[in-house]
Structures are given as C-alpha cells and as structure tokens.
Amino acid sequence: MINVIVSGFNGSMGQKAVKMVNESTDMQLVAGFNPVVKDLNPENYGLNKNVKIFNQVSKIDTKADVWIDFSIPSAVFDNTKFAIGKGIRPVIGTSGMSEDQTAELKKMADAKGLGGIIASNFGLSAVLMMKFAQVAAKYFDESEIVEKHHEDKIDAPSGTALNTARLIYQARGHEQIPHSNNDPMHTRGGDYHGIKIHALRLPGFVADEEVIFGGVGETLTISQSTTDRESFMTGVKLAIHEIMSIDHLVIGLEQII
C-alpha cells in the first residue's frame, strides 16, 4: 500500500487528489496538511477518521511514502524541502517555483536516492502541447504564448506557460531574436528570453494555453484546453506509481510518459 499525504488537501486540486487516492486500490490517504485550517477533525472534511490533519509542518509525524503538493506558490518550496528531508517522495503540482529552487530540490532528492516529480502540468493535452511546441520551435524563430486561467489563480504567468517558454528556448539552442521593451502599459505581456507570455484571468476558464509561432506569411497555433481538473489526476496517479521505483527527482511529466 502506498501511504500518501496531501498538502493543500482541501483546495480545488487537493480535493481531487484526495478523491483519486481514496478510489485507488493500492493507495491510502494517511494525512492532510494545510497550515491555514483550524479544524483538525478529518470527518469534518469528509475524510476517514484515521486520516490525520496537520496545520503545523513540525507536527507531521505520520509515516508516508508520497507527498502530493497542490498548495500555494509561496509555500511549495519549503513544503517540498520538508518532504524530501523526511524521505517522503514528492509529487509536486504547485506552480510558482524558480528554476533555482527546482534545481535545489532535485539535488536534495537525488543525493538521498529519493524518487519524485515536479510537474508544471499533469494533463496529457498540456504535456503533448509542450512536446509539439518543442518540435515547431526548430522551424519558427518567433513565438508568443497566451495562457488563460480561472480568476482565482494566484500566480502569473502559469507554471505551464513558463515551462513551455523554457522548452522552446532550449529547443532553439538559446538563440532568440531580441524584442523591444517599449511597452509602458505592458500590453505585450511578460518576456522569457524573447518569448512573450500573455496571461488572462477570467471566470469561465479552467486552464487553457496557446502557443503561436509566426513565420514569413504563415502562423502555426498549438492549443490545449482543460475543462475539468479531473484531467490532471491521470497524470498524478501515473507519476506516483512511477516515482515509487526510481531513485531521483524528475522535472516534467513528459520525462516518464
């Protein structure tokens, strides 16, 4: 049995993760973590009475194999460090970590021989979109990204948009055409090494992304649309099974599918 702690257990994604764990025959939820909650009675969250609820990381004493994290950008680095320190395999979906933070966590986990994953997106359509964008990047020198999310999303740009830009940048062998910064009202979005990222936050969206490549007399648009957060759980479940048998931390679901 794979024992799982869900960090951010009562958030939108945390609840989906809890449901996925509860419906899996080879996993069991042993604890939920959220420093914001006051009520530590699991039954008040619809959970089994044996599940422990923690609101202080220092009090977490439950033995676990996997730490699923769908919390908030400002907390995910420390949460993951805690999990790795305790020898709990991290499965991290929370966005907002810097490249340096991700690299530091990988170094920590690898040094301990601990399997784990940090994935900007656990959805198949987004992973494929990023793969296709890497292919297209070799043929088109210019591209922009438009990401559209629900109005409650804290961070911008999304982790997926940043990761898409990184992958495009790498696929081009780091050669980018410089763009002008003459944009006093920031109407041209953010800039990742010459790749513009535009972030929309509106009710009606869950998570969508378009990567638009422009060439002479033609454009190519690769787009994906998430309509239900349930879609992320296939990737989370697959990742949990995979990281149980590896001895290092992988960055991106594409590394294991």
Ligand X SMILES: O=C(O)C1=N[C@H](C(=O)O)C[C@H](O)C1
Ligand Y SMILES: NC(=O)C1=CN([C@@H]2O[C@H](COP(=O)(O)OP(=O)(O)OC[C@H]3O[C@@H](n4cnc5c(N)ncnc54)[C@H](OP(=O)(O)O)[C@@H]3O)[C@@H](O)[C@H]2O)C=CC1
Cα–Cα–Cα angle for 85, 6, 19, nearest 5°? Answer: 155
Task: Write out the binding residues for (S)-2,3,4,5-tetrahydrodipicolinate.
Answer: 150, 159-160
Shortest distance, position 161 Cβ to ligand X, whole Å: 7
Please, what sign has the CA dihedral across residues 33, 39, 45, 50? Answer: positive
Q: Which residue reads 């959970």 in tokens?
A: 47
Which of the residues 52, 153, 196, 237 is marked catalytic? Answer: 153
16 is catalytic: no
Binder of residue 231, out of ligand Y, ligand X, none (CB less than 5 to 8 A by kind):
none
Which of the residues 52, 148, 149, 198 is marked catalytic? Answer: 149
Site for ligand X in 156-175 (CB under 6 A): 158-160
Exactly one of 34, 121, 224, 231 binds ligand X (CB under 6 A); that residue is: 121
Please, what sign has the CA dihedral across residues 223, 155, 84, 101? Answer: positive
Identity of the residue, 121 or 143, whose beta carbon is nearer to ligand X in the bound complex: 121
Distance of CA 247 to the CA centre of its chain: 20
Question: Binding of ligand X at residue 224 (CB under 6 A)?
Answer: no
Within 13 Å of residue 37, how many CA atoms lie on the same side as its CB?
20
Shortest distance, position 206 Cβ to ligand X, whole Å: 6
Exactly one of 3, 10, 28, 102 binds ligand Y (CB under 6 A); that residue is: 10
Identity of the residue, 90 or 123, whose beta carbon is nearer to ligand Y in the bound complex: 123
Site for ligand X in 80-119 (CB under 6 A): 95
Of 31-39, 84-92, 138-146, 154-162, the segment contacting ligand X by CB under 6 A is 154-162
Identity of the residue, 7 or 160, whose beta carbon is nearer to ligand X in the bound complex: 160
Question: Binding of ligand Y at residue 119 (CB under 6 A)?
Answer: yes
Identity of the residue, 143 or 231, whose beta carbon is nearer to ligand X in the bound complex: 231
149 is catalytic: yes
- With contact defined as beta carbons under 8 Å apart, do 229 and 205 qualify? no
Identity of the residue, 152 or 175, whose beta carbon is nearer to ligand X in the bound complex: 152
Residues lying near ligand X in the complex (CB under 6 A) are found at 95, 120-121, 149, 153, 158-160, 207
Q: Which residues are catalytic?
A: 149, 153
Residues lying near ligand Y in the complex (CB under 6 A) are found at 7-8, 10-14, 33-36, 70-73, 75, 79, 93-96, 119-123, 159, 232
